[in-house]
Structure 1
């Protein structure tokens, strides 16, 4: 595949870099399971087995072939820096096969559910993009969230390029989403009550924590990082745990929504009072799975979520009712 170029239409000034490859067995990563599973909403299958999306301020196409992760970038050069970015994004330094064996040895239910779903790993995303994206997930489905994030980026983000007449945009800056008219524009784009949370959190970070402070939560203890996130508009414990897990290096964070709550009750026999996710139930479920699966419990939960996603109907990604008003 090295040297192959992707065909572009209507974009004479934009061309792909040469294809490069990283060693990556399917047991360590399967793009078709990870990219559309509700961790991120910026990738689409542009042709069979090829995934195109935005990472950072660059448009990429990824595909897997013969234990290699192949990629090309548009409007730039692929090299050692892009290798590093991709390795960090997929956290390829984490040995997934050993983790699967460890989780399966501790939990026969995990072993059975995960046998047909190898290569599901947790992404390491930009904290700002991850946070604002997951605010949009409350009581929502993956396909609808993906469409919302696309509208968000087109309306507020910087245009990067067109590929086959498809426009690609960077994720919006905090300044763009904190503007005086941002909430009204988001409502016009169909964000509903989430509009005030997206613009409000963008404003709160700009005026308080700051982008640097948000990034510094990667070195803070898990409980502290979650507590800080929950002070932001529209951020409940579920969204906070998603951000902790997928952007802030808290591998022990177990996001609990109605989907995971049901798994805990029906498959693992947890006695949880009521029919909704209380803060106590959220903590109990997280502690149970951390005790069962260990320090990367959030990664194991991502495998079960992905398995259920592919075996049943598309689940609601988040349900943080305490933050909807």
Structure 2
């Protein structure tokens, strides 16, 4: 992996971002036509809403490293596996329905503490309000 590169998950896609200079812009236009980037932009906004809300719930009385650890636990334990390359595996952030199916005691065992009840209750409320997965942008 090049020095100035980040590989991670955005929505349900594993992406690689790297530091670019002016000579890379032509290559970017060839590899990422406008239609593709518009689609990515729209999907990213929709996915971030759910992940942002539950990351906020995890943030209560926590530092950034601990918040990231809890969010990663949600991904690994409840999200869909997206890709595995060499020794790296990436998971999507769980959908609202996946989060709603979690038992509070499971989250407590994973170290979420009192936040577990808020994750479970929030997911249950959202799953009722936004309807089945076919009416959301989560899949």
The residue matched to 2:98 in structure 1 has which SS?
Answer: helix
Instruction: Find the partner of 1:134 among 45, 56, 65.
Output: 56
Structure 1 residues 164 and 211: alpha-carbon distance in aligned structure 2, compared to 1, 3 A threshold: farther
Report what 1:159 is aligned to.
81
- The answer as to 2:125 corresponding to 1:171 is no
User: Which blocks of at least 5 consecutive residues in structure 2 are unaligned?
Assistant: 133-139
The residue matched to 1:172 in structure 2 has which SS?
Answer: coil
Instruction: Find the partner of 2:118 among 172, 175, 197.
Output: 197
TM-score by length of 2: 0.76
8 Å CA contact 1:53–1:60 kept in 2: the answer is: yes
CA distance in 2, matches of 1:190, 1:59: 26
CA distance in 2, matches of 1:88, 1:190: 33
CA distance in 2, matches of 1:141, 1:187: 18
The root-mean-square deviation of aligned C-alpha atoms, in Å, is 2.9
TM-score by length of 1: 0.35
Structure 1 residues 197 and 81: alpha-carbon distance in aligned structure 2, compared to 1, 3 A threshold: farther
CA distance in 2, matches of 1:49, 1:126: 24
User: How many residues are matched?
Assistant: 128
Instruction: Find the partner of 1:183 among 84, 104, 115.
Output: 104
CA distance in 1, matches of 2:114, 2:2: 35
CA distance in 1, matches of 2:131, 2:63: 28
Give the structure, 1 or 2, with the largest relative contact order (CA under 8 Å, sep 6 or more): 2
Q: Which protein is richer in helix relative to its size?
A: 2
The residue matched to 1:136 in structure 2 has which SS?
Answer: helix
Structure 1 residues 169 and 78: alpha-carbon distance in aligned structure 2, compared to 1, 3 A threshold: farther
CA distance in 2, matches of 1:81, 1:50: 24
Matches within 5 A, 1:80-119: 80-87=34-41
CA distance in 1, matches of 2:103, 2:4: 37
Matches within 5 A, 1:1-325: 47-67=2-22, 79-87=33-41, 126-179=48-101, 181-207=102-128, 209-210=129-130
The residue matched to 2:19 in structure 1 has which SS?
Answer: strand
Structure 1 residues 171 and 211: alpha-carbon distance in aligned structure 2, compared to 1, 3 A threshold: farther
User: Which blocks of at least 5 consecutive residues in structure 1 are unaligned?
Assistant: 1-45, 72-76, 91-122, 213-325
8 Å CA contact 2:11–2:47 kept in 1: the answer is: no
Structure 1 residues 85 and 63: alpha-carbon distance in aligned structure 2, compared to 1, 3 A threshold: farther
CA distance in 2, matches of 1:141, 1:211: 33
CA distance in 2, matches of 1:191, 1:47: 34
